[in-house]
Amino acid sequence: STTGKPILLNNIADAEAFVSGAEVAVIGFFQEPESAEASQFRLAAGRIPEVPFGLSTSPAVLSHYGVSANTVTLFRRVDNDRRDLDMNGREVDTEKMTRFIRMNELRLVTEYNPVTAVGVMQSSLKFNLLLITDKMSPKHPQRMRKFRASAELFKGKILFILLDINLNSNERVVSYFQLKKSQLPALVIFHTPDDEHEVMTVDEISIERVQEFCNRFIQ
């Protein structure tokens, strides 16, 4: 439901609680709550119901985050990072705001697609762990639970990524790692600065196996 979105954040404590309460949170910083930019921001909030949106016009809050009015900021827990979209002196509409958020909303486990690819490439985390799998598989929900639990252990160290083989645009990634469909699901860990990587085919995912695989590669 998009009712009550965005939440008004009138002070620093509210804003900090709002940001720390979600994997991904977005705040629009504006001078006037009814400005044209703020209206576009509300429309964007309506399009992305699963992400919490806040709005602040408090000079103290803007100063606390070091932003000027007319800025949309996305905060994410996975790499303790933030992304700013400064709308001063440029034409920004709902479309551009929505794209900015979709591109940068990296999560504990981020699903890889042509839009999130940009945010993945720009993440400050140097290690990525891919689970290349078939989302249609009856085993998928259980695999995801284990993969997500493993991601908790490496928060701030490794970016965990789900790559669904049913998406045509992902075929290139699968062939890059020289994997055939018969070898899937597979885990691939790689170090982004030098492209060094290791592949492990897995039928069942266990937290211990993922942990061991990651630790060995990092060392």
Say if residues 87 and 103 touch (Cβ distance below 8 Å).
no
Measure the CA–CA gap between 76 and 78, rounded to whole angstroms.
6
| Percent of the chain predicted with pLDDT > 90 | 88
Say if residues 119 and 105 touch (Cβ distance below 8 Å).
yes
Q: What is the pLDDT of residue 90?
A: 83
Stretch 15-42: mean pLDDT: 95
Answer positive or negative: Cα dihedral of 116, 119, 121, 124: negative
Q: What is the pLDDT of residue 18?
A: 97
**pLDDT tops 80 at residue 99:** yes
Interval 57-73: pLDDT, tens: 999 999 999 999 999 99
Domains and CATH numbers, the chain: 7-104 (3.40.30.10), 109-218 (3.40.30.10)
Answer positive or negative: Cα dihedral of 54, 60, 64, 67: positive
**pLDDT tops 90 at residue 92:** no
Q: What number of H helices and E strands is found in the chain? A: 8, 10
* Tokens 């290791």, residue located: 198
What is the DSSP pairing of strand 71-76 with strand 24-29? Answer: antiparallel
Say if residues 108 and 56 touch (Cβ distance below 8 Å).
no
Measure the CA–CA gap between 77 and 102, rounded to whole angstroms.
15
* Tokens 């964007």, residue located: 44
Helix (H, G, I), strand (E, B) or coil at 176: helix
Interval 155-203: pLDDT, tens: 999 999 999 999 999 999 999 999 998 999 999 999 999 999 999 999 8
The type of residue at 175 is S
